[in-house]
Amino acid sequence: MKKVFFGVVIIYALYAVAISTYLFTVDTPLPEHYIGTEADPQTFMDEEQLMLSQEFSKWRNVLYFVHTPFEWMIYLFVLCFGLSRIFARWSEAKLKFRFLQTAIYVILLSSFSWLVSFPIKYFSYSISKDFGISIQPFHNWMRDQLVSFWVGAIILTIIAYVIMLLISKSPKKWWFYTWLLSIPFTLFLMFIQPVVVDPLYHDFYPIKDKELETEILQLANKADIPADRVYEVTMSDKTNSLNAYVTGIGSNLRIVLWDTTLEKLTKDEVLFVMAHEMGHYDLKHLQLLLLGSIVASFVALYITSKLYSVTINNLGKYLNIKKADLAALPIILLIFSLLSFVSSPFSNAISRAYEYQSDRYAIDLTEDADAAVSTFHKLSVEGLADVNPPTIVKILRYTHPPMVDRITHIRQYSEKLE
């Protein structure tokens, strides 16, 4: 198994060199029919901004395509070199209760993974700092990293304990019972995220600008959206980029605006952003995404169960791992990660379609296409966005349409309404 791992390392190294070379050298010229239009970045970015956006995007893309399979390499390493088995046996020897054993094992596994991948995460943070996107001090960034570590460890402990318990009780149907339990668990996490998880990272409060708040409330009333679900979050101490999003479900559903968005956009532009986020709410995108994730998890767990059984049956004796062993957890995590990557083009395409729908909804609500276009210009400039990314990047990374497509789409839609 060690020889297998080193063979995979060679393949990974060749892949990393190839994909990095491609992403740093690929040229994606703007289609001719976009040149000179308001979707052309040369009309709203200066030469320095264009250069920085291209360089920053290249680094971000390389880091994504290198780091994603690197996570798979970590899982392979702990399996092939017996580290997972050592973690499991140590936790089982130290503690009596299965849940506590699982917790210690997850902490050990997560700590190893976190330490090994830390250089890549730190390099990503440094790149964002160098290009002026992040202004977050190192100690503050480390705090967020540690919060993410413990939140992830707690959630993974619960999931791992349930899965391994079900595998031991029902080796053939464990995936189905896991899926049934995942539905209320997912709903619970979505419900508590805005009030429990998100405040661990940021400060949320009602919008300070009361005049703007009045106009937002009027817009929300026009869209039949509860006004007490609009919040501002402090991000100006961490980043220069702009953002807004919808989070939570039920009574905890919130439309959230970054304070940087409020500071750098005009009133009309903020209202367009708000209308866009209201579109996600009114068009039931969160509910549809939740339903889609439930269906996707059913398929993913079924495939995982089959691949897991094949892996254990063929490699279990070499890894010295049985099907219900806690040490086998990295196999499940590896399969899940692979399936998530493979399915990302489909999920990203759905997300991009929803973004187009919300853009059209916002135009219907505000009747202000000029504010929409100027908003997209500022989002591109402040975030150093690549408005026309390579196809592979768009398919695998972009949950939002590239700005060149988004600006053109919104203008064409508004012209049809005239």
Is the pLDDT score of 227 beyond 60?
Answer: no
Determine the pLDDT at residue 361.
94
Question: In b/e form, how buried is each residue of 97-133, taking b as 16+ CB within 10 angstroms?
Answer: eeeebbbbbbbbbbebbbeeeeeeeeebbebbeebeb
The annotated binding site for Zn(2+) is made up of 276, 280, 355
* Residue the block writes with tokens 């002026």: 132
* Token pair 């063929």 in the structure block, residue: 314
Please list the alpha-helical segments (H only) found in 367-418. 369-383, 391-397, 403-417
- Band of pLDDT at residue 332, cut at 50, 70 and 90: very high
The residue annotated as part of the active site, out of 269, 277, 325, 382, is 277
List, for residues 21-64, the tens digit of each pLDDT value.
Answer: 999 998 888 888 888 899 899 999 989 999 999 999 999 999 99
Task: Identify the pLDDT of residue 352.
Answer: 95
pLDDT at 226: 66
pTM for the complete prediction? 0.89
Identify the pLDDT of residue 231: 83
- Per-residue pLDDT of 182-195, as tens digits, reads 999 998 988 888 88
Q: Is the pLDDT of residue 172 over 80?
A: yes
CB 8 within 8 A of CB 79: no
359 is catalytic: yes
**What pLDDT, on a 0 to 100 scale, did the predictor assign at position 288?**
93
Which among 379, 385, 369 is positioned nearest to 418, based on CA atoms?
369
Judged by average pLDDT, the poorest of 117-126, 236-245, 374-383, 402-411 is: 236-245
Write down the pLDDT at residue 246: 79
pLDDT at 31: 85
Residue 189 confidence (pLDDT): 87
Is 304:339 a contact under the CB 8 Å cutoff? yes
Q: What is the pLDDT of residue 409?
A: 93
* Active-site residue flag, 277: yes
Mean pLDDT for the chain?
A: 90
Going by the annotation, the residues of the binding site are 276, 280, 355
**Is the separation of the CB atoms in 281 and 362 below 8 Å?**
no
Which of 232, 259, 269, 359 is catalytic? The answer is: 359
